[in-house]
Amino acid sequence: MKRIYLLSIALFFSSFLFSQAPHTFSYQTVIRDVNWNIIPDQDVSILIRILEDGPLGDVRYSEQHFVTTSKIGLVNLAIGGGDLYSGSFNDIDWGNYIYFVEVSVDIEA
């Protein structure tokens, strides 16, 4: 009887895990110049904008990251964890709209 009771409680609380919006999500890219050459070991500024309902939609959230590329030009970001530029990541209604991510890179940061 204890096992059934504990299993019921565990299933009840695990159902909450599926209804939570993410606090951040991972983004990874290789930074290249206009000639498609990798930019290794350099400080860059990356502006992330989340647009609602299309690539020309309203900006719901934007943030900036200051990172250094690796030896192969790679950067790893946690979108939702950068320096806030505008909006609120927690207020994004992920379930009812389509969202697009716009990435801008400044290699002169």
DSSP for 48-74, written as a single string: EEEEESSTTSEEEEEEEEEEE--TTSE
Q: What is the value of pTM for the model shown?
A: 0.77
User: Contact at 8 Å (CB) between 68 and 43?
Assistant: yes
- Look at residue 36 in the predicted model and tell me its pLDDT: 95
Q: Is residue 7 predicted with pLDDT exceeding 60?
A: no
φ/ψ of 35, rounded to 5, equals -95, 10
- Look at residue 2 in the predicted model and tell me its pLDDT: 58
* Per-residue pLDDT band at 12 (split at 50, 70, 90): low
pLDDT in tens, 16-70: 555 555 689 999 999 999 999 999 999 999 999 999 999 999 999 999 999 999 9
Q: Which is it for strands 58-68 and 83-87: parallel, antiparallel or unpaired?
A: antiparallel
pLDDT in tens, 72-109: 999 999 999 999 999 999 999 999 999 999 999 999 87
Distance CA 95, CA 1 (A): 38
